[in-house]
Amino acid sequence: MEVAFCTIDNKEWNADNFLALGEKNIVTMRRNLKCISCGGDAWFRKASYGQKVPHFCAHHLEDCIAATSYELIDDGDGNGTEPTRSPDSGITLNLGTEKDYKIDIETPEPLHHPPSGQKPSRIQVTNSNGKDFPAHLSLKNTLYKLVRSDKLYSSETKVTIPNTPFKGLPQTANELFVNFKSVNQNLHDKNRIYWGFISDAGFTSDGRLWLNAGNRTDGLSVAISPEITDEFRQYFKVKESLELLEGCHALIIGNCYIASTGKPVIWCSGLDYIVLRQYNFKAS
């Protein structure tokens, strides 16, 4: 895209003019960008994928006329091979099942949801007593469902996490899953499963890697512990530029800290508690 809307100054910006603002202004404004057509989360790139000119990318909404083509970069869409379980019987989240993470370039998929009534369905499985089995999901499966807006995050589905080291996690989906956009002061020092759109990433002098949430004027960030930064970059194949993290979706089981400045920080302490949904974007 050549143009994007910034919610900081409520202006539409041409990519060349946006670049001319300088790094200091870009750092803040690039985290508050929207598609001018559909309002989808957008971000800025100075150059990428062989393009030598600055441009914007976005997660467009259904039927957006400014739609950008993309390819998914990971091996998880959450479909799996197991039959569908009834959501009324609950969900069991299995931690530590994302080992040997692979990066695969997959065939581009539609950006919009399948029309109502046309979603594929699978046989529901019940046990010998006629009771439904709970759905067993990995964190990657869960992030896929949240990004696809299947309303998991607003449901009252019971969620069980066996052997979790995190205390005080709610047991219903609408309290457990918190989108970055919904983080507020009431979540200070609360363990939750936080998820949402990441606009960009960077390092601070102490070696900590920060994933910065998009469209948060208070600067919400995910802090990756310095002790796992190298392992994080190797695991998610981010060996050189951090550009691969721009525009991704992230899910983290962790604690939220609200600083005195009002900035929320989500602490990530280990690779078992974070998954990413990464994309390659090509400017349209």
Q: Which of 170, 185, 159 is nearest to 85 (CA)?
A: 159
For residue 57, pLDDT beyond 70: yes
Total domain count for the chain? 2
pTM of the predicted structure, to 2 decimals: 0.73
Summarised one tens digit per residue, pLDDT across range 1-56 is 888 999 889 999 988 888 888 888 888 888 889 888 888 888 888 765 555 678 88
CB 61 within 8 A of CB 120: no
Class of residue 219 by CB neighbours under 10 A (exposed 0-12, middle 13-18, buried 19+) = middle
Domain shared by 57 and 197, yes or no:
no
Domain shared by 7 and 127, yes or no:
no
CB 5 within 8 A of CB 12: yes
Give the whole-angstrom CA distance, residue 117 versus residue 131. Answer: 26
Domain shared by 41 and 134, yes or no:
no
Angle at 232 between CA 231 and CA 238, to 5 degrees: 110
Task: Provide, for the chain, the percentages of residues in helix, strand and coil under a 3-state DSSP scheme, each rounded to the nearest 5.
Answer: 20, 30, 50
Which of 68, 98, 114 is the endpoint of a domain?
68
Residue 8 maps to a domain? yes
Domain shared by 37 and 128, yes or no:
no
Summarised one tens digit per residue, pLDDT across range 177-230 is 999 999 999 999 999 999 999 999 998 888 789 999 988 888 899 999 888 999
Give the whole-angstrom CA distance, residue 236 versus residue 222. Answer: 15
| Across 58-79, average pLDDT | 60
